[in-house]
Amino acid sequence: MASLPQLIEEDIGELNSVLQELLIKSDAGATLIIDKGGFIITQCGRGLEFDCMTLSALSAASYAATEGIAQVVGEHNFSSVYQQGDTFSILVNNVDQFCLLAVIFKATLSVGAVKYYAADTIKKIAAQLQVAQNRDPNQGLDLSMLNMADPSSMFKKKSA
């Protein structure tokens, strides 16, 4: 199964700069790039205010479920999910086969404006992911520093 290319610091730096640009232009609160499996790839803005890990897992699942619903009714031109809130709204856009862009913005802002600025950001994110893909699709990372020789369990039960 094809998967997200291995991203290096240069990629993450470029993605962060693109997200920052979107934050400034759209006046959004936070922007996240999310893997379709539910992982956060990177985030910018006031993300610390939110539980971004849960947000990314639920956003990816919500997007996938809504995409499934769209297909059931024969709608194949599906690319975004919008949740309108009282305080914050969330727009989740498709980037490519691996990634989504989530934008959290004040409910007083126009979703149309956020969509307009996000369109350009999506192109830039996809282009950077393509750069990573072209670099070496099978490039890995040396994880030998993970201390697997340590015999202790990774997860321990609290003592009563």
> Residue numbers of the site for other proteins (CB under 8 A)?
1, 3-4, 6-9, 12-13, 35-42, 51, 53-54, 57-58, 61, 64-65, 68, 138-148, 150, 152-159
**Are 70 and 58 contacting, i.e. CB atoms less than 8 angstroms apart?**
no
Nearer to other proteins, 88 or 117 (CB): 88
Phi, psi angle pair for 157, to nearest 5°: -80, 140
Taking the complex as a whole, the smallest distance from the CB of residue 12 to other proteins amounts, in Å, to 4
Taking the C-alpha atoms of residue 92 and residue 32, their distance in angstroms, rounded to an integer, is 9
For residue 35, list its beta bridge partners: 99
CB of 13 or CB of 85, closer to other proteins = 13
* N-term to C-term CA, the chain: 44
Other beta carbons within 10 Å of 112: 8
**Smallest distance, other proteins to C-beta of residue 6, A:** 7
Nearest approach in angstroms of CB 84 to other proteins is 20
How far, in Å, CA of 122 to CA of 117, rounded?
Answer: 9
Q: Least distance in Å: CB of 128 to other proteins?
A: 13
Taking the least distance from each CB to other proteins, the nearer of 66 and 80 is 66
User: Rounded distance, CA 66 to CA 2, Å?
Assistant: 22
CB of 62 or CB of 115, closer to other proteins: 62
Query: Residue 83: helix, strand or coil by DSSP?
Result: strand
- Shortest distance, position 154 Cβ to other proteins, whole Å: 4
Q: Which is nearer to other proteins, 108 or 153 (CB)?
A: 153
Q: Is 138 helix (H, G, I), strand (E, B) or coil?
A: coil
